[in-house]
């Protein structure tokens, strides 16, 4: 087993009295695709922004350890972190407009991204931008390279952002819902691109998504989040075929069967996610609740398949 590329331990992120991420630990090995799933508000985006040092909210409190290639990212200076972001780690944000500047052309922005990290001529950077736009499926990229973000459709903007993220062949790509806004054909193209990034450059990918179909297609490992915590973690096969946490059961039950239509957003399980507090964050919505659930269960298990649930082992099957 290769050493982890990224190892996050006991990450905690608080905004005032609200705990958005509550002791999250996970690791990603080189070339691995980790699928992060969990409903809206479970802390998926915030935890990854925390990993990258991108939480700017005044008064936000972040603690824990984020070790990437042997360095603790939470301890780095801003300038050191900037050098890592975009070159060794790239992020595709949930909202593509946060990554694009309205006043510059798409091609200029991709070319600048290339030139920020590599000594290449403007001409060569522009050619790279055209090639990248072509790779992410933008038609007529030689013309489209000179378009402004508002001239692109939402799906095209998302693809342009993906092109920017791929421009420096990062060792780790964190992709937050990169395919949600896209039609099925484009989505398949993007998943192919991510697979190629891994095959050609050994890149690891953290893929945040609501779409269990996407996870089942691309992830090696799956992290299920609920209420700012990891409730289950295991290989794709383990999590899909022998899920252990009642929340994961609910997630998988809400995935339509083969004949049904494909859902983009996970239907919700009754109730609303509780703010992380003392007990198990899922207890209020759990039909298997025990007295023990008043205290938060630790994430534990064997051979890489972990869950945070007090149910007796023999009852952790659907
Ligand atoms: N800057 C912030 N200040 C205060 N609260 C925040 C901030 N950012 C996120 N939160 C809160 O943290 C929780 C987790 O948010 P997050 O964006 O990580 O959810 P998510 O799992 O990515 O959801 P979605 O699937 O809808 O994108 C939410 O309750 C959100 O309101
Ligand atoms: Mg999010």
CATH number at residue 10: 3.40.50.300
Q: Which two tokens stand for residue 160?
A: 């342009």
Q: Which two tokens stand for residue 121?
A: 């001529």
Reported as a single tens digit per residue, the pLDDT across 29-74 is 999 999 999 989 999 999 999 999 999 999 999 999 999 999 999 9
**What is the distance between the alpha carbons of residues 47 and 223, in angstroms, rounded to a whole number?**
12
Percent of the chain with pLDDT over 90: 65
Residue 204, domain member (yes or no): yes
Taken in order 85, 86, 90, 91, is the CA torsion positive or negative? positive
Nearest CA to ligand 1 atom 14: 43
Residue 210, domain member (yes or no): yes
51 lines ligand 1 (CB under 6 A): no
> How far does residue 126's CA lie from ligand 2's centre (Å)?
31
281 lines ligand 1 (CB under 6 A): no
> How far does residue 44's CA lie from ligand 1's centre (Å)?
8
37 lines ligand 1 (CB under 6 A): no
Residue 111, domain member (yes or no): no
Residue 145, domain member (yes or no): no
Give the residue, 261 or 71, on which the prediction is more confident: 71
b/e map of 65-85 (b: 16 or more CB within 10 Å)? ebbbeeeebbebeeeebeebb
End-to-end CA distance of the chain: 30
57 lines ligand 1 (CB under 6 A): yes
Q: Which of 238, 98, 269, 79 is nearest to 176 (CA)?
A: 98
pLDDT score, position 256: 59
Residue-number span of the structural domain to which 10 is assigned: 6-88+170-315
Number of domains, the chain: 1
**What is the distance between the alpha carbons of residues 157 and 151, in angstroms, rounded to a whole number?**
9
pLDDT at residue 304 is higher than 80: yes
Residue 66, domain member (yes or no): yes
Model confidence at 257, pLDDT cuts 50, 70, 90, reads: low
Reported as a single tens digit per residue, the pLDDT across 80-139 is 998 898 789 999 988 777 789 999 999 999 999 899 888 999 999 999 999 999 988 899
pLDDT score, position 262: 46
> Residue 36: nearest ligand to its CA?
1
pLDDT score, position 276: 47
Atom of ligand 1 nearest to the CA of 55: 1
> How far does residue 98's CA lie from ligand 2's centre (Å)?
13
Residue 155, domain member (yes or no): no
Model confidence at 3, pLDDT cuts 50, 70, 90, reads: confident
Model confidence at 265, pLDDT cuts 50, 70, 90, reads: very low
Residue 225, domain member (yes or no): yes
* Torsion from C-alpha of 275, 244, 38, 247, nearest 10 degrees: -50
DSSP states of the chain as a string? -PPPSEEEEEEEEEETTEEEEEEEEEEE-TT-EEEEE--TTSSHHHHHHHHTT----TT-EEEEEEEETTEEGGGS-HHHHHHHBTTTEEEE-SSGGGT--TTS-HHHHHHHHHHHHS---HHHHHHHHHHHHHHTT-SSHHHHTT--GGGS-HHHHHHHHHHHHHTT--SEEEEESTTTTS-HHHHHHHHHHHHHHHHHH--EEEEE-S-HHHHHHH-SEEEEEETTEEEEEEEHHHHHHS--SHHHHHHHHTSPPTTSPPPSSPPPPSS-PPPS-SS-TTGGG-TT--GGGGSPPP-EEETTEEE---S-GGG---
pLDDT score, position 65: 97
Bridging pattern class, strands 229-235 and 305-307: antiparallel
275 lines ligand 1 (CB under 6 A): no
Percent of the chain with pLDDT over 70: 92
Reported as a single tens digit per residue, the pLDDT across 131-170 is 999 988 899 999 999 999 999 988 889 889 989 998 888 9
pLDDT score, position 263: 44
Residue 126, domain member (yes or no): no
State which of 24, 36, 45 you would mutate to test the pocket of ligand 1, scoring each by most atoms of that ligand within 8 A of its C-beta.
Answer: 45
> How far does residue 277's CA lie from ligand 2's centre (Å)?
21
How much is the mean pLDDT over the chain? Answer: 89
């Amino acid at each position: 087993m290769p050493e982890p590329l990224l190892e996050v331990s006991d990450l905690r992120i608080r905004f005032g009295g609200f705990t958005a991420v509550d002791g999250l630990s996970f690791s990603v090995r080189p070339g691995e695709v980790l699928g992060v799933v969990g409903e809206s508000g479970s802390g998926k985006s915030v935890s990854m922004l925390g990993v990258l040092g991108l939480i700017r909210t005044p008064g936000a409190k972040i603690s824990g350890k984020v070790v990437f290639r042997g360095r603790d990212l939470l301890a780095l200076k801003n300038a050191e972190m900037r050098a890592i972001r975009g070159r060794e780690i790239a992020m595709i944000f949930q909202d593509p407009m946060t990554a694009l500047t309205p006043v510059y052309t798409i091609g200029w922005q991709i070319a600048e991204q290339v030139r920020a990290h590599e000594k290449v001529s403007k001409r060569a950077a522009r050619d790279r931008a055209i090639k990248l736009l072509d790779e992410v499926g933008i038609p007529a990229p030689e013309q489209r390279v000179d378009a402004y973000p508002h001239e692109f459709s939402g799906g095209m903007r998302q693809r342009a952002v993906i092109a920017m993220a791929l421009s420096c062949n990062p060792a780790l790509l964190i992709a937050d819902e990169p395919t949600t806004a896209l039609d099925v054909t484009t989505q398949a193209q993007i998943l192919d691109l991510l697979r190629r990034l891994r095959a050609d450059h050994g890149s690891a990918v953290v893929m945040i998504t609501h779409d269990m179909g996407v996870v089942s297609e691309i992830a090696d490992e799956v992290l299920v989040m609920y209420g700012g915590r990891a409730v289950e973690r295991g290989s794709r096969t383990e999590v899909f075929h022998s899920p252990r946490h009642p929340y994961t059961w609910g997630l998988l039950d809400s995935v339509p069967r083969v004949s049904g239509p494909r859902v983009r957003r996970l239907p919700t399980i009754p109730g609303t996610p509780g703010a992380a507090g003392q007990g198990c964050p899922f207890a209020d919505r759990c039909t298997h609740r025990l007295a023990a659930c008043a205290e938060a269960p630790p994430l534990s298990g064997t051979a890489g398949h972990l869950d945070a649930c007090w149910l007796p082992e023999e009852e952790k099957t659907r």
